[in-house]
Amino acid sequence: MNDVKKKLLDVARMLRVVAIVTRVFVIVMMVVTAMQIVAAFSLNTSLFAGFYDGRIDQIESILGSSPVFSLLFEIADLQAMDPVYQKAIELFITFLSLLVLMYYVGFFKRVMDHILAQQQPFSPVTAKQMRQGSYWLLLLVLVNPVLGILLFLLVRFFSLIFEYGAYLQDRADKTNRIQEEVIVSLAEITENKSEQTGQHIRRVSEYARILAQQMGLDEDAVENLRLASTMHDLGKLLIPSEILDKPGRLTDAEFAEIKKHPGFGEHLLHGVEGDTMSMARTIALEHHERVDGRGYPNGEKAGEISLEGRIVAVADVYDALTSRRSYKEAWDTRRAYDEIVKGSGTQFDPKVVDAFKAAYDEIEATRQKYADDIKESGA
């Protein structure tokens, strides 16, 4: 949905530029036509000889299909008029046509401006603007009844499309809000599962956000990653508390049980719809994979691991190293930083590590901001 929205907004920006360029061209043509009208009446000749060499019979051939103008032609014998006045009438009709075109170009630009200001391709306001503008198209019935009615119906049809698009957008926004509420609730449950994790989930999500921004991801992708990463340890809900909170080192069997939590997390989120939930499922499964293929649960290598999984892997490990646990003290931040850098190309994606180094000051400030109540070394 976000990719489609971005493409539609790009199209709106392009169309806005087209409207501006067209508006400038129409203004120039209106000025030239107005000067010709003045010249035709005041000097009894054209100051732009050869520039506009129209004939009144050309007007009749264009407008003759209109019953209104046909009647006017019968009432006023235009062919018998002085050539100067014939040309003035031609120019006046041209000026009115340009004036109508100017209105619709301006109307079109206002619609694009509203779309870009709201950052929403579809909205009820846009649909309303199109409906109101469609009534002005009925004026074209005076010139060409068939063309006027067709354009009126076409604009009305597009107004219905925009209205339905706004309805779908509203549904998508509500779905996203529900996803966010569910994600926050599940993250809180996961965090409360263990007495040791503190604000680990919050810190990891903020680190992931910082890394994603540093790597140039767009705003929507960054926000989705921030939310989705809060569920990276969801699978630990199915790990016994006596293992999660065990003081001292884990046995091989206990560690093997811990290593199941990525698969558990993917299973819990399997079949849940939504872009953010889908990303959360991927992160839950992949955040312990390594780019050299020695991670778990699937031993995936660099090209097989999603970018989101590679980002959260760095964020998760850095926070685990700098946090106190029952089986270890928190590492000094410099030692943890060196460990992340040392893992570039083996445990971690080098590009993510480069982003980590570039944004480290912000990451460290975030770590201190969301520090646990328990005093951590290096804080």
Q: Which positions are annotated as active-site residues?
A: 236
Q: How far is CA 6 from CA 3, 13, 114, 125, in A?
A: 5, 11, 15, 19
Asked whether the bond before 297 is cis by omega within 30 degrees of 0, the reply is yes
Judge contact between 230 and 205, C-beta under 8 A.
yes
Report how far residue 186's alpha carbon sits from residue 184's, in angstroms, rounded to the nearest whole number: 6
Q: Name the 3-class secondary structure at 304.
A: helix
Report how far residue 101's alpha carbon sits from residue 292's, in angstroms, rounded to the nearest whole number: 63
Structure-block tokens of residue 21:
């360029």
Judge contact between 280 and 228, C-beta under 8 A.
yes
- Which spans in 194-303 are helix H? 200-214, 219-229, 241-244, 252-258, 261-268, 275-286
Q: How far is CA 62 from CA 67, 94, 151, 299, in A?
A: 12, 12, 18, 74
Angle in degrees, 0-180, between the axes of helices 350-358 and 360-369, rounded to the nearest 10: 70
* Cα end-to-end distance, the chain, whole Å: 41
What are the backbone angles phi and psi of residue 159, rounded to the nearest 5°? -65, -35
